[in-house]
Chain A
């Protein structure tokens, strides 16, 4: 009788356990199912950096079960605003923007989106004013603060390579772009604060699109400034070509310190050959994945906007072997 009783209790327990699990499984589903999100990747179709952002967003879409439509802006702030208005007219559940145009340019359109119930969040470049205003409506930010990333790379370069006061440095960047230009500004200011003598060159739109056109420019600069000790490119594709630039200019590996942002297979190879010494890694994959997650969680559970710093440190000769295979797959 005791045995029968025990068996009954055991059976009941198994049934409860099984039943609970079954119900639990039934009650859980992909949180983004049925949601539509428009995502501006920022760069051109197939751009080195924004493709990694896109890969992160694509993975998030698969994991969460939502649909993501991608837009491309060729890093043009004007096109980003145009793309936003297009996304707005499609009335999706959420829109991910790159913050390059700045708070003022986006303000009326984001206001309209929030009023329509569309969740908007920013990636790569922050929109501090809009984030403060729409934080409770799910407006978040995922990325590395532009000023912070510039400051971090410049400080790391000065400390790591023990650059002395009066040393000459070149910053090749996009200072003229709103918000995005803060990175170049921080590079210049931090290096100058450390006592370095800094020259700045603006990247032309042609070189911005096709880095191969940059060779004579860097050669001309280095010929005129043979005492240059550090070259920092505030541009992923240009960092990837630093090895070719230095080779063409007749600069030996490690003769000049080369630094920049975003790891690509070519940059990894340049680190190994000694032409690139330091790369700031903003983990763009996360800048694609997390904004999609933010929109889904806000839409479903009403969470407010999250501010996530994706700056993941630096890639250099000592750790490049670990990270390079991931760069080849478009994940780092």
Chain B
């Protein structure tokens, strides 16, 4: 590869290179500050057992944001899908049927979002704030506000397949999450669906004139987000052996932070799957790094904020220079 090609390649992938360097820099810093934690496999197992959940959600949301849409209801879609999973798997004694019920619930909730936004014409931010309240309320009402214990699923094959430990240490949810990330990468980069999503995000009117079925694609993205939320919820229920009515509430800001840290444009039309995955990992390891360095938890938010603001500012500067 000659120098020009190398330069072009680096320029093309400068966002990904930048965020990867940030991740490596942080890991290096944590290794230096607290080697007793970051040289031990245990912390990485803990990361691999929890980071996949917000990452799955961030992957679904990345596609939506690239298309210029938004979904604030995914924490509530998680909770209603999780309730379907818990109830059906407990009444039928089949967690597989529970998974199907959760996916149907999540898909339907996503479809409802899509219909409200695309066919009725309510802006996504408003529509999904409404459905977020609706699904949270519905699940609390249906469960009578009580958590459901699911420890009986811990020894099932289903549990091992979904969130078990491969070779006794790799959490299965990491593999599922990677599979979804690869699938979404193909969708966004190697499939006509991805082109449609980008065109819609860039300029929906032009996309329409080009013959893209914009309504179908946008509704499809909301359904996909619903399905991903349901899958994440089932995994959280299995990992925690519990369903609880406030499940998912803590994910909202972290997921958005991961996506924007990963370089996805808030204006749509631009975003990468790899950026979102790395952004999720950075957000997922920050607090643990701060704690293991012996700093008080009070530092967490400050450093979260600092990393996000610096990163997105650098993106903005790079983006401006490109447009010049």
Residues on A lying within 8 angstroms of B by beta carbon are 44-48, 51, 54-55, 176, 200-213, 215-217, 219-221, 223-224, 226, 237, 240-241, 243-244, 248-250, 264-266, 268-269, 273, 328-330
Contacts and interface: CB of A to CB of B under 8 A. Distances in A.
Contacts of B287: 204, 216-217, 220
Chain A to chain B: the 8 pairs with minimum beta-carbon distance, closest first: A46-B245, A210-B250, A219-B46, A220-B288, A51-B145, A46-B140, A265-B149, A223-B37
Contact of A220 (B139, B140, B239, B289): B289
Given A47-B245, A51-B145, A213 B250 contact: yes
Contacts of B272: none
B50 A213 contact: yes
A20 B303 CA distance: 75
A247 to B, nearest CB: 9
Contacts of B137: 45
A46 B296 contact: no
B298 to A, nearest CB: 6
A248 B47 CA distance: 9
Contacts of A202: 296-298
B43 A223 contact: yes
B247 interface: yes
A165 to B, nearest CB: 22
A268 B298 CA distance: 31
B318 interface: no
Given A202-B297, A206-B250, A266-B242, A220 B147 contact: no
A241 B291 CA distance: 19
B5 to A, nearest CB: 40
A46 B246 contact: yes
Given A201-B296, A216-B50, A224-B292, A209 B145 contact: no
B284 interface: yes
Nearest to A250: B42
A207 B45 CA distance: 19
A325 to B, nearest CB: 12
B317 interface: no
Interface string B97-132: 000000000000000000000000000000000000
Given A45-B246, A46-B143, A46-B246, 14 more contacts: A48-B244, A176-B298, A201-B297, A204-B287, A210-B248, A211-B240, A212-B50, A217-B291, A220-B287, A220-B292, A221-B292, A265-B242, A269-B149, A269-B151
Nearest to A41: B145
Contact of B46 (A48, A205, A206, A216): A216
Given A45-B137, A240-B147, A204 B285 contact: no
A206 B49 CA distance: 17
Nearest to A213: B250
Interface residues of B, number: 53
Given A216-B287, A220-B37, A330-B144, A46 B49 contact: no
A39 to B, nearest CB: 14
Contacts of B145: 45-47, 51, 54-55, 330
Interface in B283-323: 284-285, 287-289, 291-292, 294, 296-298, 300-301
Contact of B49 (A215, A243, A269): A215
Contacts of A249: 42, 46
Contact of A45 (B136, B148, B285, B294): B136
A206 B254 CA distance: 8
A207 to B, nearest CB: 6
Contacts of B291: 201, 217, 220-221, 224
18 contacts: A45-B140, A201-B296, A204-B287, A206-B253, A212-B247, A216-B285, A216-B287, A217-B288, A221-B292, A223-B40, A224-B34, A244-B239, A249-B46, A250-B45, A266-B149, A273-B151, A329-B146, A330-B145
B284 A212 contact: no
Contacts of B139: 46
B236 interface: yes
A329 B288 CA distance: 35
Nearest to B49: A248
A126 B190 CA distance: 61
B34 A204 contact: no
A223 B42 contact: yes
A142 B34 CA distance: 45
Contact of B147 (A45, A206, A265): A265
Contacts of B49: 215, 248
B297 A213 contact: no
Contacts of A266: 147, 149, 151, 240-242
Given A215-B50, A220-B46, A204 B245 contact: no
A176 B301 CA distance: 14
Contacts of B140: 45-46
B33 to A, nearest CB: 10
A222 B6 CA distance: 44
Contacts of A201: 291, 296-297
A203 to B, nearest CB: 7
Contacts of B289: 220
B203 interface: no
Contacts of A211: 240, 244
B241 to A, nearest CB: 7
A226 B250 CA distance: 28
A101 to B, nearest CB: 20
B131 to A, nearest CB: 15
A243 B241 CA distance: 10
A218 to B, nearest CB: 8
A223 B36 contact: yes
A44 B284 CA distance: 24
B250 A224 contact: no
A200 B140 CA distance: 33
B163 to A, nearest CB: 11
